[in-house]
Amino acid sequence: MNPPNQNSSLLLKSVKHVIAVASGKGGVGKSTTTVNLALAMARTGAKVGVLDADIYGPSIPLMLGIEDFKPDAVGEKKMTAASAHGITAQSIGFLINSEDAAIWRGPMAAGALTQLMNETAWPELDYLFVDMPPGTGDIQLTLSQKVPLTGAVIVTTPQDVALSDARKGIQMFQKVNVPILGVVENMSIHICSQCNHQEPIFGAQGGKRTAEQYQVPFLGALPLQLSIREAMDMGKPTLVSDPDSAISDLYIQIANQIVKQVAAQQQSSVSISISDDE
Ligand SMILES: Nc1ncnc2c1ncn2[C@@H]1O[C@H](COP(=O)(O)OP(=O)(O)OP(=O)(O)O)[C@@H](O)[C@H]1O
């Protein structure tokens, strides 16, 4: 058996683990979840970065309040990344106009993204989260093959249309031997900011059922809550604006689950390589 993702053509020497965050469907809260999980992980003392590879809607500069950042050259071939709230961030949005990128064909977009990853002067990082473009087409497939991924986290909402796309995402990563670290169910339940009434607007437990169906870990659920959106729009994600809240705690729990899954993957790929050598 082959070690996971052995065809990766990019090697990031300063980055220990690269984690893709993907969703089959757009708008399910992939970027929001990526940013908050990265900040949650940084709170545990890990060195964390985020790469915004969502060419159709690079939103991480806005979410981290760093829209005006412009990378500087480092030597002849590399460029700096931004830093915000204790994490490192690089975005396709710092370099190109998203309206131009939206019409790029698959190979061009995948080429630009792998170049962005390779030509950034990343500091030493324990985890680099890659906010993938939504969907499971050529761009996503090429990225999953070219980037040396430790694993993928799938973000979904609980309704059927999002779940069916999330399943396609799981299948895509499995096809290229990228381990699924788990499924996060976002917008799981709506909590009213006035009366705290809880309502499963998009259905209940769909992400959990999908994880069970594919026998991959269920990492946790996040509510649909006004404060999460408001914090993001201000460039101060919940982990920054309200670090001791129940919501921040949920992100921290999910981040801890991811750390555990990464460790489990490392162990299983070590044992796969050992048995390969025999
Ligand atoms: N749990 C949540 N509660 C409230 N609002 C949320 C939640 N998650 C995301 N949002 C909001 O939903 C909108 C879409 O989120 P986001 O941009 O993270 O989605 P996405 O899946 O990355 O979208 P795209 O695929 O278009 O890039 C944003 O306005 C964000 O603030």
Residue 83 CA to residue 85 CA, distance in Å, equals 7
* Residue 4 in domain: no
Rounded to the nearest integer, the mean pLDDT of the chain is 88
* Residue 245 in domain: yes
Both structure tokens of 158: 């609980």
For residue 263, give its domain range: 15-271
Which of the listed residues 21, 30, 32, 247 should we mutate to test ligand 1's pocket, taking the one with most ligand atoms within 8 A of CB? 32
Adjacent-strand bridge partners of 129:
19, 50
Residue 111 marked ligand-binding: no
**Percent of the chain topping pLDDT 70:** 91
Q: What is the CATH number of the domain that holds 191?
A: 3.40.50.300
Nearest CA to ligand 1 atom 23: 27
What is the model's pLDDT at position 270? Answer: 64
Using the mean position of ligand 1's atoms as its centre, give its distance from the Cα of residue 37 in Å: 14
Using the mean position of ligand 1's atoms as its centre, give its distance from the Cα of residue 66 in Å: 18
Q: What are the residue ranges of helices labelled H in the chain? A: 30-43, 60-63, 98-101, 106-118, 138-146, 160-175, 206-213, 226-233, 238-241, 246-277
**Closest-lying ligand 1 atom to the alpha carbon of residue 131:** 22
Give helix 206-213 / helix 160-175 axis angle, nearest 10°: 30
* Residue 134 in domain: yes
Which of the listed residues 21, 25, 31 should we mutate to test ligand 1's pocket, taking the one with most ligand atoms within 8 A of CB? 31
Nearest CA to ligand 1 atom 19: 29
Yes or no: say if 191 and 63 are a contact pair by the CB < 8 Å rule.
Answer: no
Report pTM. 0.91
Q: Residues 48-107: pLDDT tens digits?
A: 999 998 887 889 999 999 999 999 999 988 999 999 999 999 998 898 776 776 677 777
* Residue 5 in domain: no
* Residue 110 in domain: yes
Question: Can you tell me the mean pLDDT for 141-153?
Answer: 89
Residue 28 marked ligand-binding: yes
* Residue 278 in domain: no
Q: How confident is the model at residue 278 (pLDDT cuts 50, 70, 90)?
A: very low
Comparing CA positions, the residue from 223, 235, 160 lying closest to residue 196 is 223
What is the number of domains present in the chain? 1
Q: Residues 199-251: pLDDT tens digits?
A: 888 877 888 999 999 999 999 999 999 999 999 999 999 999 999 999 999 99
**Does ligand 1 come within 6 angstroms of the Cβ of 165?**
no
Q: For the complex shown, is ipTM > 0.90? A: yes
**Does ligand 1 come within 6 angstroms of the Cβ of 238?**
no
